[in-house]
Structure formats: C-alpha cells, structure tokens
Structure 1
Amino acid sequence: MVLPISLMIFYGLEPQDALALPKTAISSAGIDTRRQKTGEPLYHPLFEPVSDALAKAPKHDAITLCANSWGKPWTYNGFSTNWDKLKRVLEAEQKIQPGLTLKGLRHTVGTILAEMGKDNGTIALVLGHATEAMAKHYSRRANRSRQASAAIVDLEAEVNRRKTKVVKPAEQI
C-alpha cells in the first residue's frame, strides 16, 4: 500500500494511473509513462522516498507495479477500501488531517508546486494535464503571498533603478 500512495504523494499521480502503472514504466532513471485520461506523457526522475518504497515493495507477478497482498493488480475499489481503513488510523494518530482523499494528494502536489513559484505550464507538465487551465485549478488554493512579496521587492528595485537621476548643470558645480 505504501508504493501507490508514494506515487500519489510525491508525483501527484492520479490514483488510477498509480494503480495501473506497468512495471515497464520504471527504470533506474525514473518513471516514463502516459496518463490514462489525457494521454499526456509523464516523466519523473526517481527520488529517495519513491525509490525506497520501490525497494521495499513485495515482489509479485502482476504486470502492474503496484499489487495487492495476493500479488494481483489493485482495483481502484479494493485500494480505496484499504486506503479508507489506513486513513482512519492516520487521522486518529493525527498524522494526517481529516478528510484527505486520494485525489486530494494530487491537488496537494499542484499547490506545493505553485507555492514554490512554478508556473502553470510546469505544473501541467508534472501532473500530466493537457491544459494550463487544469494546472491552475489544481493549484488554486496555493498561498502565493511569498511570491507576491518577492515580486514587490523586485518591482521596488526596478522602480528605483529607473528613477531619473538629477544632474546639476555644469555652472552650479
């Protein structure tokens, strides 16, 4: 269960995409696949939390990367049922906020990218959206105050740079 959740948390994969991800989409360089819904290409380099989850995942014969305890590909309903059980435990331990959904993990990735200052094109690329409008939707709750403050600091510096310098006439020197 850790591996598919890792794919959703760290890459913002749609639950259906994470569960259907074929083993062939993974190499030492990363994940190379396409979104089922849009057909948009997805490439994500592997980084530690995901590579650790891959290394610890039980071996199985399913063609998908993620498999249930019987070694069969997860169905969305089966995974969702198990997620709900795990979610209740994590909420009780106050490790996650109540109401977190699998789809919400995808929105979280979009929000974090926007708060990092990434543009909608980059967010669309990471999430595999066909349009920047969808990236904007997924990042709409981002707190952009840090970006706005930085922009104002830059604006102030530019305004000061553009100020007309007063030059004294030669006879007054």
Structure 2
Amino acid sequence: MFLPITPILSEVLEATPRQGETVLVTAYGEPFSPKSLTGRMVDWTASAKLPKGFTLHGLRKTLGKILAEGGASTRQIMDTLGHDDIAHAELYTREAEQARLATDGMSRVVRLKRNG
C-alpha cells in the first residue's frame, strides 16, 4: 500500500519525534501489531473522552467516504485504502453517487415548487 505524504501530514510528521520510518511504536520502540494497535486505539479514544466506536476501521471508512464525496474514482479509493477487491471501494462511490443524485432530485422538486 502506498500513502502519499500530503503537506498537512508532512507538517505533523516533522513535528513528531520518532526514530526511523515507523510513526506509531510501542513502549519498546517496536511497530504495533494490528491487534495491539486496535487495542491502543480503544485506550486512546477513551482517554480523549471520545464516544465509543471510534476505531481504525471507522477512520478508514470515513476516509473512503470523504474521497468518494470529493469525486475520487473507485480505483483511487481502492488504492488509497489498500483494498484488494474493487467491490469494497465501489460501496463508497455508489453511496456518494446516490447522495448526489438524491440531493439533485430534491433540488429539482424545490425549484419546481418555487416556480410553480
């Protein structure tokens, strides 16, 4: 998986003390395993007093939704999120397209009523 470093992310990374390429490490300086990172996310969200349910998977889904709503192609979403199956990425583009079409449809109803 390739994740480009955006200017905002670059600023954050430059200000973050770290050793090597890994940004999030355990107390022993080792990269987290997926399971232990998930557990730490639960701890971090609790200590930040965020509602339960803020998960790494949820962040990934949110990024997919933002990408789709911003007009990213299915392939762009697939590559950004690291999906192996295009069907997963298509869920985001379908939902975004459905929302765009529904919003446009309701706008037409409003215009018809105003012009009446």
The bucket for the TM-score relative to the shorter chain is 0.5 to 0.7
Task: Classify the secondary structure of the residue corresponding to 1:86.
Answer: helix
Q: Is the 8 A contact 1:110 1:138 kept in 2?
A: yes
After superposition, the Cα gap between the structure-2 partners of 1:43 and 1:64, relative to the gap in structure 1 and judged at 3 Å, is closer
Q: Is the 8 A contact 1:111 1:140 kept in 2?
A: no
The yes-or-no answer on 1:127 pairing with 2:81 is: yes
After superposition, the Cα gap between the structure-2 partners of 1:132 and 1:66, relative to the gap in structure 1 and judged at 3 Å, is same
Residue equivalent to 1:21:
none
The structure number with the bigger radius of gyration is 1
User: RMSD of aligned C-alpha atoms?
Assistant: 3.0
The yes-or-no answer on 1:57 pairing with 2:16 is: yes
CA distance in 2, matches of 1:84, 1:128: 22
Match of 1:112 among 66, 75, 85: 66
Greater strand proportion? 1
Q: Is the 8 A contact 1:60 1:67 kept in 2?
A: no
Q: Which runs of 5+ in 2 are unaligned?
A: 109-116
Name the aligned partner's letter for residue 127 of structure 1: L
CA distance in 2, matches of 1:59, 1:71: 9
Q: Which runs of 5+ in 1 are unaligned?
A: 1-33, 35-41, 154-173
CA distance in 1, matches of 2:91, 2:66: 13
Quote the sequence identity (%). 27
Q: Is the 8 A contact 1:124 1:130 kept in 2?
A: yes
CA distance in 2, matches of 1:129, 1:80: 19
Pick 1 or 2: higher relative contact order, CA cutoff 8 A, min separation 6: 1
CA distance in 2, matches of 1:126, 1:76: 18
CA distance in 2, matches of 1:116, 1:82: 30
Greater helix proportion? 2
